[in-house]
Copies of this chain bind each other. A is one copy, B any other.
């Protein structure tokens, strides 16, 4: 497996491959060619082969790809077999949606703490995780050294929390708040998710279609 300089575009396609391979498994399909997969995913066969060959290539000439093997190779590439610890901050609607819909263990993370600023939520258990008060965050992090934090806070609250966590040594963030985490922290890895941007893009595309056919 030759890593080194995988492009962002390739990396962002890997989770999508992983998802589609899961769908194939559910359909009972055990074998697929790059051509067939391309058709399903709206890519080209060439691109798929190039992507997989960034990591070594997992197919077999004349046969294609074994779905189970390919999926587990991707799981390995994405690091799902080596769990990292994560905390989640903010159990409003977004936080709850994440907690209820995402199986952390299946995607490389072990959720070790959930925090909110609301006293009334403290102690409540959501998906096996007791909610802790945000005031205990500092102590908790010094003791447990989480690798990553999932931020589900309102925009205004996000910035100070990010700064606090950076100081505490947290290196990875998934940010669902509409605050844009800026990457002046060279060691931090950030994935910003902006709901609003998708609506804006859709607005553009719908108008574009009406105007330009």
Question: Which of A82, A84, A195, A204: most chain B Cβ within 10 A?
Answer: A204
Interface: A117 (CB within 8 A): no
- Report the separation of the CA atoms of residues A99 and B195 in the bound assembly, to the nearest whole angstrom: 11
Stretch at the interface among A11-19, A58-66, A128-136: A11-19
CB pair B200–A107 under 8 Å, yes or no, is: yes
Name A174's contact: one of B80, B84, B198, B209 (CB within 8 Å): B198
Interface size, chain A (Cβ < 8 Å)? 66
CB-defined contacts of A122 to chain B, threshold 8 Å: none
Q: Which of A62-97 contact B (CB under 8 A)?
A: 77-80, 82, 84, 92-94, 96-97
| Shortest Cβ distance from residue A21 to the other chain B in the assembled complex, whole angstroms | 12
What are the nearest 9 A-B pairs in CB distance? A108-B203, A93-B97, A79-B207, A15-B197, A15-B200, A191-B198, A93-B96, A94-B97, A189-B205
Residues of A within 8 A of B (CB): 3-4, 6, 11-12, 14-16, 18-20, 23, 40, 42, 77-80, 82, 84, 92-94, 96-98, 100-102, 104, 107-109, 147-148, 150, 171-174, 176, 178, 180, 182-183, 189, 191, 193-209, 211-212
